[in-house]
Each structure stands twice: as structure tokens, then as C-alpha cells.
């Protein structure tokens, strides 16, 4: 690796882009627009593109799902990011629409830029296994079970399910906690009823 390439990587790596990050679920994201803005400020000759399938489409369909591939070239070094087409819960989309493909292209662009150093620290830990989302039936059971705790409590549960704070890995523990909360309320009601 040339000294220029290394110093470019380090310059980009040391660029603080934290003011441009957004929290989605449990991850921080750097918007592709800010990634491009900061990349072009530091490296005006940087360029990027989309690798197209044989039929000219900007995505690839495989047995595993749909993928996009974006490359970014900085100081003559081209790095690419292959990215699956995912929904907002990071689940693969079986039949993505144009907007979902475009969103994945932009995510891949931000990540390909990060491979050159800019915002790379943001993606640290992202490759850790994601917990599985609750099934529709589990969600329905959870909300039904929590009805005695009120509408506000159920609203909080729904927010935690959307953000993956409640997921397949902690579902049983969540049900148990709700069960204990309901039992505490019943116990208090019994105690208050005896004192009358």
C-alpha cells in the first residue's frame, strides 16, 4: 500500500462524522448523503458506481435473496460493498420494490465509503448476530398477555418490539416479567381489599 493511500485512509478514518449519525434500532447509521459530502471534501476525485447484473439491473437475485454491489474508488483504490436488500428490521426482503433496492444501494454506498476509512468506527460491531424478530403470533400473544397492564404499557412494548429490544431471544423472559408484574398488581389488590 502506498504512503499516500495509507495517509488518505488515516485522514478519512480520523474524520469525526458522529454529528451526522442517526440511531435506528440499536445501531448508529451514517446517512449516505453525509458520507458522500465528507468524502468529496477530503478526496474531491473520489468516485463510485453500481455493479450491475448481466441483464443491466442494479441488483442481483440469488437463492439467498436480493443483493446490491456498490464500489467506491479513492486515490486509485477501488473497494466494493455487497449488501443484502433488507427491511427496516434487517430482515431479507423476498420481493423488493424499487425504493427498497435504492435504499440498499445507498446503505452499500455509505459502507463502501467506510471501507476507505470515513465513518468505519460506526459500523464496528454491526456484524454481530442480530436477534430474530418476534413472529406475528408471538407479538399478538405478548400484547394480549399485557392487556391488564394498560394501553400505555402495550405501546411501550410495541416500541421495544420495533426496535428489537424485545426479540425471539428474550421473548420468554419478557412474558415472565409481565406475568410477575400482573401478579404483583393482583397481590396488592388482595392486600388492599383485606384492609377495608
pLDDT digit string, tens, across residues 19-72: 888 877 667 789 999 999 999 999 999 999 999 999 999 999 999 999 999 999
**pTM reported for the whole predicted model:** 0.62
Query: Hey, what's the cell of 169?
Result: 431471544
What is the SS3 assignment for 150? coil
Compute the distance between CA of residue 83 and CA of residue 42 in angstroms, rounded to an integer. Answer: 25
Start-end of CATH 3.30.390.80 domains in the chain: 3-123
Compute the distance between CA of residue 121 and CA of residue 126 in angstroms, rounded to an integer. Answer: 10
The second-level CATH assignment, the architecture, of 3-123 is: 2-Layer Sandwich (3.30)
Compute the distance between CA of residue 86 and CA of residue 104 in angstroms, rounded to an integer. Answer: 7
pLDDT digit string, tens, across residues 126-182: 554 556 788 889 999 999 999 999 999 999 999 998 888 888 878 888 999 999 999
Amino acid at each position: 500500500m502506498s504512503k499516500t493511500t495509507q495517509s488518505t485512509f488515516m485522514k478519512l478514518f480520523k474524520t469525526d462524522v458522529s454529528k451526522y449519525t442517526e440511531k435506528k434500532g440499536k445501531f448508529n447509521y451514517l446517512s449516505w448523503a453525509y458520507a458522500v459530502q465528507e468524502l468529496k471534501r477530503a478526496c474531491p476525485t473520489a468516485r463510485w458506481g453500481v455493479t450491475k447484473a448481466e441483464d443491466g439491473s442494479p441488483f442481483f437475485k440469488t437463492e439467498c435473496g436480493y443483493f446490491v454491489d456498490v464500489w467506491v474508488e479513492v486515490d486509485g483504490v477501488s473497494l466494493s460493498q455487497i449488501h443484502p436488500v433488507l427491511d427496516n428490521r434487517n430482515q431479507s426482503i423476498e420481493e423488493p420494490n424499487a425504493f427498497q433496492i435504492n435504499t440498499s444501494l445507498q446503505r452499500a454506498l455509505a459502507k463502501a465509503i467506510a471501507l476507505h476509512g470515513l465513518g468505519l468506527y460506526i459500523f464496528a460491531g454491526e456484524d454481530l448476530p442480530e436477534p430474530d424478530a418476534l413472529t406475528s403470533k408471538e407479538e399478538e400473544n405478548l400484547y394480549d398477555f399485557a392487556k391488564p397492564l394498560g394501553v400505555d404499557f402495550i405501546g411501550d412494548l410495541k416500541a421495544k418490539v420495533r426496535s428489537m429490544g424485545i426479540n425471539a431471544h428474550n421473548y420468554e423472559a419478557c412474558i415472565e416479567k409481565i406475568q410477575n408484574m400482573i401478579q404483583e398488581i393482583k397481590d396488592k389488590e388482595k392486600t388492599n381489599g383485606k384492609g377495608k
